[in-house]
Structure 1
Amino acid sequence: MKILSKEQVYEGDRLTAERQNITSTELMERAGLQIFNWLHVRMQGAQVPIHVFCGIGNNGGDGLVVARHLVIHGYNVNTYVVNCSDKRSKDFLVNYDKIKHVTKEWPTLLDCKGDFPPIGVDDIIIDAVFGIGLNREVDSWVKQLFQHFKASKAFTLAIDIPSGLHTNQVPEDENGVVWANHTLSFQSPKLVFFLPDTAKYSIQWEVLDIGIDRDFLIKIHTEAELIGKQEVIPNYIPRNKFSNKGNFGHALIIGGSYGKIGAVTLASRSALSTGAGLVTSYIPRCGYNVLQSSFPEAMVITDIDENIITNIDFNISPTVIGIGIGLGTNTKTAKAFGDFLKENKVPLIIDADAINILSENKGFLKHIPEGSVLTPHPKELERLIGTWKDDFDKLKKVKAFSKKHKVIIVIKGAHTITVLEDKLYVNLTGNPGLATAGTGDVLTGILTGLIAQGYNPLVASIFGVYLHGKSADIAVEEKGFESLIASHVIETIGNAYLDLFKQPEQPQPNSESEAKEK
């Protein structure tokens, strides 16, 4: 699913009105009706007090459409207009007149001073104060109103985006943003729903289809895309009946140091479990018995040193190399890594201590093969690109780094983002159970295993991040967040593959008569 920018949303609205021969007011009616339908299905006429707070722009117009339909259907509605300016939009005014024709209780005009309307904890707030067009600091009184929403602890539903939240920057004052329980976004989610600094303003989100022109949606190129099952299925490469292990590549995993052989074991296991034909592990000598006994499917090459890697030398021809897991940053290891980079021409997955070594030896970066994948966690990323002001500044710096060095960066997090130059791919799978030691090593193995099979590095990164998260989602159903460990994720990689083509379960008949009818 494409994540539209603010400017693209406006363009989509304009083209839709033009191509479907409708007015902007009719498009607003369509959007507001979708919000009402969403509410009506869930409330079924329940007489819970509903407080609809409308601004005087188009988001407020959406709110007035919702309020009008709620009134028509007999709901207990209180409608307010946050009247802090005289710059009302045309469509707001049209819908302000329309609601006067269906109720004697006209919207209450709030003049942005004085007391706030009382709101009970069991009430519902519909936030339609500001939309994506907000381009100024929120007034002090409005900030207090938003805090009044929050203090009431009432369920808060935001229309399109929580008021006060911008689509392309982090708010300077969190008190100037509505903290929504749920956001109904028109046609496309907003990037801010997925960033650590801004995701907190909406616990849940959902996209409503308001009929934006299909040709526009198909052809538009966006900075960001949302990655779920439907986005990764077309990238899956099925296996031929007559294939053999040689058809699926040879993955080499380089890493480990005394006490950290487990990291290489996890990465090697996940590479093979993802589908690599062969996996070889390159480790210091101290890990030989450990790896051979714990993971007999892998081949093992050892360094000349007992406890660390000091000389990366092998006589095999790997398809792809995953490097850095458990590696350590000893000066001898760093030198060995630098020497290896100068000679290597094979695609790389670079993780953990290999990233830390790059951060301390920026001259090594020029030797990284084009299209290699770096998978830093937040602190490793900070060491690599420097500190950032906020999430948008971080994305700007990552895009610049990716473009300069022609590499793919996988920014690990609750919504892992894969970055190639100016393009962002935001992942939907995964859960808090992944916040445990070793799961990053598993991701490295998954990406290595996919590239070994012939997936190009970008597709492997997008697909691999999805599989990693989906495997954890499946495992957590049995293990729970707290008890999930990295090995559990490896054990469910196969289930994640199977889930790609699993058909949705059909609802079962509720009675014998229904079963007979079917």
Structure 2
Amino acid sequence: MQTLLTSVQMREADEFTIINKPIASIDLMEKAARAFVQCFLRDEFDTQKSIAIFCGKGNNGGDGLAIAHLLFSNGYFNIKVYIVNFSSKQSADFTINLQRLEESRCKKVIINHAADLKGIKSDIIIDAILGSGLNKPLAGAYAELASLINKSRKKVYAVDVPTGFFAEGKLPNDYNGVKAFKTICFQRPKINFFMPESAEATLQFEVVEIGLDEDFIVKQSTDFYLVEEIDVKKILKPRKLFSHKGTYGHALIIAGNTNTMGAALLASMACLYTGAGLTTACIPQSGLIALNTTLPEVMALPRDEYTRIEDQSKYQAIAIGPGLGISTENEHLLESLIVANQSLIIDADGLNLLAERRDLLAKLPHYSILTPHMKEFDRLFGDHDSWWDRLQTASAQAKRLKIVIVLKNQFTFICSAEGKVYINPTGNPAMAQGGMGDVLTGVIAAFVAQGYPSLDTAILGCFVHGQTGDELAKNQIVVTASQVASGISTTIQKLL
């Protein structure tokens, strides 16, 4: 797992590296600039394009000056550097790099007021005005300058963080900073890059290594971790010789209704392809033909208004919710499962039933897994006006209730019973299709049935679900839920 740090912790990592590597701060800045330029050149290899580089007078601006010098050395001769002179202070490394720039033939313009900027004619803008550490929106000349840059409608690359963007903490509803096409950030992504609100500040981001001390970073105290493929490979267990269907557990999927059998089929299909030894779908009588025709490997437990699961212990995993419907009978069924004190996977209408019976929340069996999207989460735990606040609530509630909350998002947040947040990096917009949540429920149920602990299950489920979609999206603009469900097995095999 990659430890994700706050802006203060990243500055401490800078300082530790400078002292202990040892390396002069100006040389570390040069390494960062080189890493930025290497990444930039992969995207923008046309040396005929003109580039405007806006540099504040702190270390972020010092990075920008070093980037200007390196781009000039790489044949980008049509560069104009704008020195943003809105403060009397300037960092020592900025001063050194400014002197180096003076010795080159780069054009330099000093902006004392935002109004000094009459227009931006360059093809590309590099934003190196202000770095991380901000905790309030831009004001005054900085806000005016950011507005002018945005109005220019040029392609913007931000250095480490877009000017005006908060690296962590609650993001304002009305973002007024620089809006970047891409942010090239150093050593670690900013925590807030994983929040949906960050789309206002940067359409994409890429992380480059700059040589900070990794041992120091890994040892820092944090509640945020980024899941990596190597972590998933360590958790996954290969299927062994002489194993049989009983080895891989029995999963029960309680899902579907008269008009929503698709949800039950998708969840059951995903459970089947993720490797549960046995899968039983508890579905309405009306869905039996669809189930037997589509998934003959899946057993059926017909559900009516009097259904109760008589022997829960025969199932190693029980998932409830996809397409279930809201009714008094289903509420009683959910309550009977909860009081039996066996960990559950609860999604969709199972969560909506919980929202109507919040008294059942405190009775949830420990290490149950809830998989809400934003609206389902807010129905359960109250309205939130930012993803940062929503995530704080999710983390606190997971710890309080000793459960795992999978808060679905472009980058899904997996909140553990210990209060830690694991961010899943896989998945893509091509997967924005109905039924994807049903598939994830089935995947998670299969891993639980196979004996994986709840947190490992959630990490595995989210990663393989998203990675399957990523592979499919390489060749198509839209990925369907049934494609993901049937592709899960291939993804797992590749990871193994």
TM-score (norm 1): 0.90
1:100 aligned residue (64, 77, 102) = 102
CA contact (8 A) 2:114 2:145 kept: no
How far apart are the structure 1 equivalents of 2:140 and 2:173? 11
Shift of 1:232: 1.4
| Cα deviation code 1:37-85 (max 9, x no counterpart) | 3345655571322111011111111111112223344522211111111
Cα distance change, pair 436–73 in 1 and its aligned pair in 2 (3 A): closer
How far apart are the structure 2 equivalents of 1:171 and 1:382? 18
Q: Please list, as runs of the form range in 1=range in 2, the aligned pairs for 1:257-268 lying within 5 A after superposition.
A: 257-268=257-268
Identity of counterpart residues, as a percentage? Answer: 37
How far apart are the structure 2 equivalents of 1:140 and 1:34? 32
| Cα deviation code 1:382-422 (max 9, x no counterpart) | 10111112111111111111111111111112111111143
Partner of 1:254: 254
| Cα deviation code 1:413-462 (max 9, x no counterpart) | 21111111432222222222322222211110000001111211111101
CA contact (8 A) 1:192 1:199 kept: no
Shift of 1:114: 2.3
Partner of 2:380: 384
CA contact (8 A) 1:301 1:314 kept: no
Query: Which range moved further: 424-433 or 220-229?
Result: 220-229
How far apart are the structure 2 equivalents of 1:455 and 1:362? 28
DSSP-derived class of the 2:390 partner: helix
Partner of 1:323: 320
User: Relative contact order, CA 8 A, sep 6+: which one is greater?
Assistant: 2
How far apart are the structure 2 equivalents of 1:499 and 1:149? 45
Shift of 1:170: 4.5
Partner of 2:30: 29
Q: Does 1:355 align with 2:351?
A: yes
Partner of 1:489: 484
Q: Does 1:162 align with 2:162?
A: yes
2:87 aligned residue (85, 88, 93) = 85
Cα distance change, pair 301–96 in 1 and its aligned pair in 2 (3 A): same
CA contact (8 A) 2:175 2:200 kept: no
Partner of 1:340: 337
DSSP-derived class of the 2:233 partner: helix
Cα distance change, pair 302–215 in 1 and its aligned pair in 2 (3 A): same
TM-score (norm 2): 0.93
Cα distance change, pair 41–447 in 1 and its aligned pair in 2 (3 A): closer
Cα distance change, pair 477–113 in 1 and its aligned pair in 2 (3 A): closer
Shift of 1:287: 2.7
How far apart are the structure 1 equivalents of 2:232 and 2:86? 46
Shift of 1:175: 5.4
CA contact (8 A) 1:256 1:309 kept: no
Cα distance change, pair 135–98 in 1 and its aligned pair in 2 (3 A): farther
Q: Does 1:435 align with 2:437?
A: no
How far apart are the structure 1 equivalents of 2:152 and 2:332? 60
Q: Stretches of 4+ moved more than 6 A in 1?
A: none
Partner of 1:511: none
For structure 2, the 5+ residue unaligned runs are: none
CA contact (8 A) 1:318 1:346 kept: no
Shift of 1:159: 0.3
1:459 aligned residue (435, 456, 459) = 456
CA contact (8 A) 1:474 1:495 kept: no
Shift of 1:346: 2.5
- Write the letter of the residue equivalent to 1:77: I
CA contact (8 A) 1:48 1:124 kept: yes
For structure 1, the 5+ residue unaligned runs are: 502-518
How far apart are the structure 2 equivalents of 1:72 and 1:479? 40
What is the count of residue pairs matched by the alignment? 493
Cα distance change, pair 439–34 in 1 and its aligned pair in 2 (3 A): closer
